[in-house]
Amino acid sequence: MYARYSREVDKNRETAKTSIQEEDGAASQQAIVNGDDLKAAVDQELMRLWNRLQNPPPEMHCNSLLKRHLTQELFDDLKHKKTRFGGTLKDCIRSGCENVDSGVGIYACDPDGYTVFAPVLDAVIKDYHKVDKLNHPEPDFGEEKVDFPNLDPSGEMIVSTRVRVGRSHDSYGFPPVLSKEDRIDMEKKTVEALKTLKDDLKGTYYPLEGMSKEDQKKLTEDHFLFNDSDRFLRAAGGYDDWPTGRGIFHTDDKKFLAWVNEEDHMRFISMQMGGDLKEVYKRLVKAIRELEKKLTFAKRDGLGYLTFCPSNLGTTLRASVHIKIPKLAATPDFKAFCDKYNIQARGIHGEHTESVGGVYDISNKRRLGLTEYEAILEMKNGVEAVIKKEKELSGK
């Protein structure tokens, strides 16, 4: 109810009068807010969130990066600032205050938020990405240098390979500040660009609105489609106006896909069965090159490409394989082994999920402070090390 209340205030902050639903025990009452009272209501909501972050429910632990870096001094300095998109500090911290068990706890309200709220966001970014300076290099996909063999030519271990990036339109805010009309307009512009792709990248766009439950369930289970089940993203406004303005584009063979208005404005994905990372990566780069001719993506010096969550900046590139490693995964130092190679292990259904049948999702961990080519090379080297270790443990 609080998340809905705060977004109702946000959406009507420029009007002379708005109705806000407030919860009072089991009953609800209608409050009419006029003029200066509207600002007071917004400020009151921000203070409620701040107080919840400082004094979380006793049954919940709060160790988020937001809690660590948003000091009282910074809060007081930033609480009345606003971006050119209308974004506020409240938009950035709402999810982390409602969900005090968050790991990061803060989103950027819009591309401009990375500048206006830099005092806290920069600190969180450095902490999360383990960097001392925000000096992300210029893009270098290095596709001409990518010339490595299939990671698993026998097909015994790698089930599938996938590489994706996130992108944002530079002329729109992120979910907290978007209107329904914004989402529809973004969808239109994105789809127009996607429809210009040719040859092996040519595909069809399927809007989520109107899609049958059966088709939606099947596409999600096959890892082709997103859903609205993440409570952290929900509290940040990520599912407002669901499913309007959202959809999926994919080629007939489903080796190239684009998500429209999920967490980010756009996510471009290249994937296929087996371990041919080179082919998967080059297909993605080819699509990005073509789409850059039609769309302008949000960037900031030192941060690279900008997305909604500060955990996914810089290259925004995540290259992964679904790989069978039951022996290595069962060792007590599995996580330490992955950390050594800057790779991350997840369940095959995403973060915070378990492995199924000894199959794990192994991906590059670093996205900020290195080029796209360096990121893909780091993932390749890590997966090769995983394969070698699994075979050693299996006596092969």
Binding-site sequence positions for ATP: 160-164, 223, 267, 318-322, 346-351
Helix (H, G, I), strand (E, B) or coil at 35: coil
How many Cβ atoms from other residues are within 10 Å of residue 284's Cβ?
Answer: 27
- Tokens representing residue 152 in the block: 């698993």
Question: What is the number of helices (H) and of strands (E) in the chain?
Answer: 14, 12
- Total residue length of the chain: 396
* Interatomic CA distance for residues 180 and 7, integer angstroms: 13
* Interatomic CA distance for residues 225 and 357, integer angstroms: 22
Identify any residues that bridge with 33 across adjacent strands, giving them in sequence order: 18
Binding region = 160-164, 223, 267, 318-322, 346-351
* Interatomic CA distance for residues 106 and 39, integer angstroms: 22
Q: What are phi and psi of 381, to 5 degrees?
A: -65, -35
* Interatomic CA distance for residues 138 and 304, integer angstroms: 7
Give, as one character, the DSSP assignment of residue 316. Answer: -
* Interatomic CA distance for residues 371 and 375, integer angstroms: 6
| Phi-psi map region of 166: left, alpha, beta (phi>0 left; psi -120 to 50 alpha) | beta
Nearest to 254 by CA among 272, 278, 274: 272
Q: Is 379 in contact with 320 (CB distance < 8 Å)?
A: yes
Nearest to 263 by CA among 215, 312, 216: 312
- Tokens representing residue 135 in the block: 């000096």
Asked if residue 243 has a cis previous peptide bond (ω within 30° of 0), the answer is yes
**Residue with the two structure tokens 């439950």:** 213
* Interatomic CA distance for residues 233 and 359, integer angstroms: 26
Contacts of residue 112, defined as CB under 8 A and 6 or more positions apart, other chains included, come to 83, 84, 85, 87, 173
β-strands 359-364, 247-251: how paired?
unpaired
Q: Is 186 in contact with 261 (CB distance < 8 Å)?
A: yes
